[in-house]
Amino acid sequence: MKETISLIGEMFHKLFYILKEMLYLIQQHKLYFLLPLLLILAFLAFITYYLGPAAITLFIYAGV
């Protein structure tokens, strides 16, 4: 049980490190136009994870 919690904690630590580095690069190189694209991708990943791939097909076939 402790191993699982440790692995999850390490995974979130890596995820937050990646997000922090991405935001730093966006600020450093003035790539603010990438932020909405990254937010949309994160939202679609969240929907796909919790609702399954069928949720994405609704966006594809609707032409959105």
Neighbours of 7 (CB within 10 A): 10
Q: How confident is the model over 4-49, as pLDDT tens digits?
A: 888 888 888 988 898 899 889 888 988 888 888 888 888 888 888 8
Question: d(Cα 64, Cα 51) in Å, to the nearest integer?
Answer: 18
Q: How confident is the model over 51-64, as pLDDT tens digits?
A: 877 777 777 777 65
Residue 1 above 80 pLDDT? no
| Residue spans per domain, the chain | 1-29, 33-64
Task: Count H helices and E strands in the chain, helices first.
Answer: 3, 0
Of all helices (H) and strands (E), which one includes residue 29? none
Question: d(Cα 44, Cα 33) in Å, to the nearest integer?
Answer: 18
3-state secondary structure of 1: coil
> What one-letter code names the amino acid at 42?
A
In this prediction, residue 64 carries a pLDDT of: 54
| pTM across the whole model | 0.56
